[in-house]
Structure 1
Amino acid sequence: MAGNFEELHCWQACYNLKTYLKTNVLKKLPKIEKFELHAQILRAARSSTANIAEGWGRYHYKENINFLRFSRGSVAEIWDHCIEAKDCDYINLETLNAVRLQTEKCIQLINGYIRYLQQKNNEK
């Protein structure tokens, strides 16, 4: 088990995604999206890491898994919002593809951690 949530690969991947979004997506959105798409992407990105951290802090496998599922949902939400950003021509296809790769990696790592925790829970 990780000494802190920052050591979790799924948290690191979500943090990297959040950083990428701030630099490569949010800055490209027009001002009219400041309180709509911009806010939704930022909130989902923050939620992706925050839920992993909160779940890690619970110390109970089932609770941790629930928060990981919330995080996975936030990552999926990010992907959906970025598709919308591309459809509105706020971001290009290259940026969208980069987000796709990162969201897929985040989801794979979150799913792997969920499987690990489920196995540990079953061993109890």
Structure 2
Amino acid sequence: MLHTDLEVWKRSIELVTSVYKLTEQIPSDERFGLTGQIRRAAVSVPSNIAEGAGRLHRKELVQFLNISTGSLSELETLLIIARNLGFINQNEIPADEINSIRKMLVGLTKKIQNQNQF
């Protein structure tokens, strides 16, 4: 399985770009704090999809997809914190895209787990 063929990987790459642009407005004194955490969480999503797809065993792929899903939840939480601190507005949070990617990750994970039963 090539990660570059997966729609969820492509969409999460686009999310990283959006998040980087969004975090440019966070104060520079947060560069190594909240901004860095947000960006790392965003980058973790497609990176773990890619790493899992490069593994030999389905069980490992499932593990990395679960990590991606966790990173996506972390990203969502960090963006809410940034909003609550007044660094970004609610309408700037890509909530629909985050939820869409989450559904895709969960669906792919279940599909792979079901293949393991045969």
- Quickly name the TM-score band, shorter chain normalised: over 0.9
Alpha-carbon distance, 1:59 to partner: 2.5
1:44–1:78 CA contact under 8 A, matched in 2: yes
Listed as ranges, the matches of 1:80-99 within 5 Å are 80-96=77-93, 99=94
Cα distance in 1 for partners of 2:108, 2:56 equals 14
Structure 1 gaps of 5+ residues are none
User: Does the 8 Å CA contact 1:13/1:105 hold for their aligned counterparts?
Assistant: no
Query: Counterparts of 1:76 and 1:16 in 2: how far apart (Å)?
Result: 17
Q: In structure 1, what is the Cα distance between the partners aligned to 2:86 and 2:5?
A: 36
Counterpart in the other structure of 1:29: 26
Match of 2:103 in 1: 108
Question: How far did 1:93 drift?
Answer: 1.6
| RMSD over equivalenced CA pairs, Å | 1.0
Q: CA deviation digits over 1:1-52, x for unaligned, max 9?
A: x4x20111111121111111011x2111101110001110111111111100
Q: After superposing the two structures, state which structure 1 stretch, 70-79 or 8-17, moved more.
A: 8-17
- Any unmatched runs of 5+ in structure 2? none
TM-score between both structures, scaled by the size of structure 2 = 0.95
Q: Which stretch has the larger CA shift, 82-91 or 8-17?
A: 8-17
Q: Deviations over 1:36-75 (max 9, x none)?
A: 0111011111111110000000031111000000000000
Query: In structure 2, how many angstroms separate the alpha carbons of the residues matched to 1:11 and 1:83?
Result: 23
**Counterparts of 2:58 and 2:117, CA distance in 1:** 10
Match of 1:44 in 2: 41
Q: Distance in 2 between matches of 1:63 and 1:56?
A: 9
Q: How many pairs align?
A: 118
Q: Which runs of 4+ in 1 moved over 4 A?
A: none
* Structure with greater helix share of residues: 1
